[in-house]
Amino acid sequence: MHNLYVPPHKILLFILLFGIGFGSATYLKEHESTVPIPKLEMPKTDFSFNFDFNLNFDFSKPEVDEEIQKPNKTWNEVSIQTNGTDRKYGNLVGIQLVLKPEDYVKEEWWKERIEETLIQGKKSGIFDRKTIVIFPEHLGSGLIFLNEKSKFLNSDSLSDALKTKGDNFTLNDLLLSKANMMADVYVRTFSSLAKDYNVPILGGTIVLPNPKIVKGNLVLDSTGPLYNVAIPFSADGKLMEPIVKKSILSEEEQKVYAAGDINQDRIWIVPGWKVAVFIGQEVFDSSIYSRLTGKAIDGLISPSAVFPNMKWSGKDLSDMNVWKQDGMSKYIKTTRAQDLVQVFLSGHLFENHWNGKTFNLRDFTFEDEVISVESPTILNLYF
């Protein structure tokens, strides 16, 4: 049997320490609400992930290239202004149209916009066998919009519209690809209108690849250069000579089409009358008038177009006074003509507002000009 001997001083030390520990615990228990106890903040592990990779997925439907609806007219009536009195010698009728790209999308829509003015002219009794009707420059060129849909037509500019067909697609590409269709619609429309209203018509101008009249038909040369041409139609709806090719071009025009021969024939002969045809800036070239000196002509006519800030040879062509002071009015007395008509296209075509004002001059002296470019106007001049 073992002897368990514990010295007395160790027993006393154990009792003392036990008592202190027990007393402290009791004290803290009783005063735990008043004695601050430091808190140890354990770090929390963050298992979250940032899934924002900024991929910007667009799940909206892609733009649909839609057929467009027939556009509404932006005007209420066709105005008629008359310079002179009917002495039964005939008259020059310049027709200023107001068009936008949508008007060209369907052949029938385009024809309707033109025919609305001819209907008004016939109602007013100004058409007879000695009437000559003149439409503005690029009236036919706008046929590039034939059969186009919303993507092309809703573009902010022509350059943006061309991009809808390809990054490197140019205006020349568009003109060449649609040339045959444009020519067919142009000839069919003006041939029909000239015959239906029994008046000779100069159908403004149209840009086509080297067009010629062969056996009464308009023939294009797909390998030839583009020209901006004025094409006349007889009162029985037939194509007439001469086809006049614009010969004086701006820098912008030179990027698209070639210049015609400045010495070309430009005298259009209709029953009872002979008129010389100028296109746009050709009216500023004195050498063209000198080639008409001594020739039997009764009038000067010019299909033209101008948009804001249009410049040529240092001239601000958006200033209508430039056309009046430096154009046909300045040179008419060097010819045997006595009257002139310059016809402008009006309307909104992409970023440009074509806003030239059609005007005429009778007997070198009496001038008339359209009042508004926001509605179509017939400007009638009696010889």
Distance from C-alpha of 259 to C-alpha of 279, rounded to nearest angstrom: 11
Query: 19-34 pLDDT, tens per residue?
Result: 545 455 554 455 544 4
| Tens digit of each residue's pLDDT (9 = 90 or more) over 26-68 | 544 555 444 444 444 444 544 443 434 344 444 444 567 789 8
Q: Mind spelling out the 3-state secondary structure of 175-225?
A: HHHHHHHHHHHHHHHHHHHHHHHCCCEEEEEEEEECCEEECCEEECCCCCC
Distances from the Cα of 102 to the Cα of 112, 138, 149, 273, 347, angstroms: 13, 15, 9, 36, 11
Neighbours of 8 (CB within 10 A): 6
pLDDT reported for residue 84: 96
**Domain map (residue ranges) of the chain:** 86-382
Query: d(Cα 197, Cα 119) in Å, to the nearest integer?
Result: 8
Between the CA of residue 42 and those of 35, 45, 70, what are the distances in Å?
22, 9, 74
Torsions phi, psi of 50, nearest 5?
-90, 110
Provide the angle, in degrees to the nearest 10, between the axes of the packed helices 171-197 and 107-124. 40
Backbone angles phi, psi at 44, to 5 degrees: -95, 135
**237-259: per-residue pLDDT in tens?**
999 999 999 999 999 999 999 99
pTM of the model: 0.82
Closest CA to 128 of 231, 190, 200: 200
| Calpha distance 241→243 (Å, rounded) | 5
Q: State the architecture of 86-382 in CATH terms.
A: 4-Layer Sandwich (3.60)
Q: How many CB atoms lie within 10 A of CB 333?
A: 11
Angle at the Cα of 339 from the Cα atoms of 333 and 345, rounded to 5 degrees: 115
Task: Round to whole Å and give the CA distance between 22 and 16.
Answer: 10
pLDDT in tens, the chain (383 residues): 444 445 555 544 444 454 545 455 554 455 544 444 444 444 454 444 343 434 444 444 456 778 989 998 888 899 999 999 999 899 999 999 999 999 999 999 999 999 999 999 999 999 998 999 999 999 999 999 999 999 999 998 889 999 999 999 999 999 999 999 999 999 999 999 999 999 999 999 999 999 999 999 999 999 999 999 999 999 999 999 999 999 999 999 999 999 999 999 999 999 888 999 999 999 999 999 999 999 999 999 999 999 878 889 999 999 999 999 999 999 999 999 999 999 999 998 767 788 899 999 999 999 999 999 999 999 999 98
- The confidence score (pLDDT) of residue 10 equals 52
Backbone angles phi, psi at 58, to 5 degrees: -110, 105
299-86-129-200 Cα dihedral, nearest 10 degrees = 40
- 155 and 65 in contact (C-beta within 8 Å)? no
